[in-house]
Amino acid sequence: MDASTAFAPPAGGGRNLHRFANPGRFLRASGRVLPWLAAAGLLLTGIGLLWGLFFAPADWQQGDAVRIMYIHVPAAWLASGGYFALALASLASLVWRHPLADLAAAEIGPVGAAATALCLGTGSLWGKPMWGAWWVWDARLTSVLVLFFLYLGHIALVRAFDDPQRGARAGSILALVGVVNLPIIKFSVDWWNTLHQPATITLTGAPTMYVGMLWPLLFSALGFSFGFAALVVARMRAAVMERRIRALLSARARAEAA
Amino acid sequence: MNHLPYIVASYALFLAIAGGFTAAAWVRLGRARRRLAAIDPRGSR
């Protein structure tokens, strides 16, 4: 038995999408991309964080505590962005039954949960000196905590079934239902009177942040994004190999039994 | 630099999480590659 049968695309449409369902093709493509993603992530994150820590000015109100922002804000963007990617992978899994989409969703979950934990942790470390409290039940903080629980629920659900297909399906449904939380996170600071400050960087307007702070933040955010992608691709490569190992071993066991 | 303990704790948390996940992915990938190479030398390429 060929190991690639574990990734056989279903009959019907979506042939282009399933081109990358071939494990060999995915391993070759991802093997070429991964070193560049990892190097870009390391370099840009290093530049952004060193710039933010040692060369960017302190804030006139927050003092040096503003330097926590160079970790907190990229982690917050990745927490939401990662969940959006998880939902897209879940949609591809449910609609096209793409086998790599299942793997992508399963591997994005823990990395996204870590980004969310980092966002919550650094937010707490910023909140104590600025607000005088480690935690407040503010709409923004609470909705991000809900996001963290959604990630944890997804991680638990995809691993809760003996049949990985059923786990992936249940996880996909949870991921798609949880998408409703993303606009709540984004607009929580506008819809409710929150202690958390409103957005200083938007897609439509000019940033209300000093440019000497904006550049290191953008470097850091870009570096975090490349690092996130590198981690997900590395974990997906490992998952593809592990699935192939299982397929080969079970094929070998069947051949010996016959 | 004021608020130094909070800043150091934030960067340490980042290093711990990012470093931990990177190391775990590295180890998992290496182990999978070695096992696959042992079972199917074509498959590890």
Q: How many CB pairs under 8 A join A and B?
A: 93
Is B7 an interface residue toward A (CB < 8 Å)? yes
Do A114 and B36 make contact, defined as CB atoms within 8 angstroms? no
Q: What pTM value is reported for the model?
A: 0.89
Distances (CA, A) of A85 to A12, A50, A111, A150, A233: 25, 28, 11, 14, 13
Closest CB from B10, B21, B26 relative to A68 = B10
Q: Which residues on A lie below 8 Å from B22 (Cβ)?
A: 231
Across A200-222, average pLDDT: 83
- Tens of pLDDT along A164-202? 889 999 999 999 999 999 999 999 998 988 888 877 777
Q: Check residue B17 and give its pLDDT.
A: 97
Residue B33 to residue A3, Cβ atoms within 8 A:
no
A241 to B44: CB separation less than 8 angstroms, yes or no? yes
pLDDT at A7 over 50: no
> Is A249 domain-assigned?
yes
Indicate the residue of B4, B13, B25 with minimum beta-carbon distance to A235. Answer: B25
Residues of chain A with C-beta less than 8 angstroms from the C-beta of B34: none
Q: Which single residue is written with the structure tokens 């993303």?
A: A182
Q: Minimal Cα distance from B14: which residue of A?
A: A118
Residue A235 lies in a domain: yes
| A82 is a domain residue | yes
- When divided into structural domains, chain A yields a total of 1
CA distances from B5 to A76, A112, A114, B11, B12 (A): 21, 26, 22, 10, 10
pLDDT in tens, A17-53: 566 667 788 889 999 999 999 999 999 999 999 999 9
Residue % of chain A over a pLDDT of 70: 90
**Å from B30 to nearest chain A CA?**
8
Q: Is there a domain that residue A3 lies in?
A: no
Q: How far apart are CA A31 and CA A64, in angstroms?
A: 41
Rounded (10°) CA dihedral A113, A172, A233, A124 = -10
Amino acid A212: pLDDT? 87
- A5 located within any domain: no
pLDDT band for position A3 (cuts 50, 70, 90): very low
State the pLDDT at residue A11.
47
Residue of B nearest to A111 (CA): B21
Question: What are the residue ranges in chain B where pLDDT is below 70?
Answer: 42-45
Model confidence band, residue A4 (pLDDT cutoffs 50, 70, 90): very low
Q: What is the average per-residue pLDDT within A53-62?
A: 89
From B9's Cα to the closest Cα of chain A, the distance in A is 8
> A243 in a domain, yes or no?
yes
**How many Cα atoms are found within 13 Å in the side-chain-facing hemisphere of A45?**
23
Cβ–Cβ below 8 Å for B29 and A242: no
What pLDDT is recorded for position A196?
A: 85
CB contact under 8 A, B26 and A234: yes
Residue of A nearest to B8 (CA): A68
Q: What is the pLDDT of residue B3?
A: 87
Give me the pLDDT at residue B43, please.
56
Residue A16, domain member (yes or no) = no
Q: Residue A112: give its domain's CATH number.
A: 1.20.120
Binary contact (A64, B1; C-beta < 8 A): yes
Q: At what angle do helices A164-178 and A99-131 cross, to 10 degrees?
A: 40
Angle formed at CA A15 by CA A234 and CA A250, multiple of 5 degrees: 55
pLDDT: which is higher, A208 or A34: A34
Instruction: With respect to residue A15, please indicate whether it lies within any of the assigned structural domains.
Output: no
ipTM here: 0.91
- State the residue range of the domain holding A129: 24-199+210-257
Residues 120 to 149 of A: which have CB under 8 A from any B CB?
121-122, 125-126, 128-129
Q: A93-127: per-residue pLDDT in tens?
A: 999 888 889 999 999 999 999 999 999 999 999 99
Q: Which residue of A has its CA nearest to B42?
A: A24
Minimal Cβ distance to B36: which of A63, A111, A244: A244
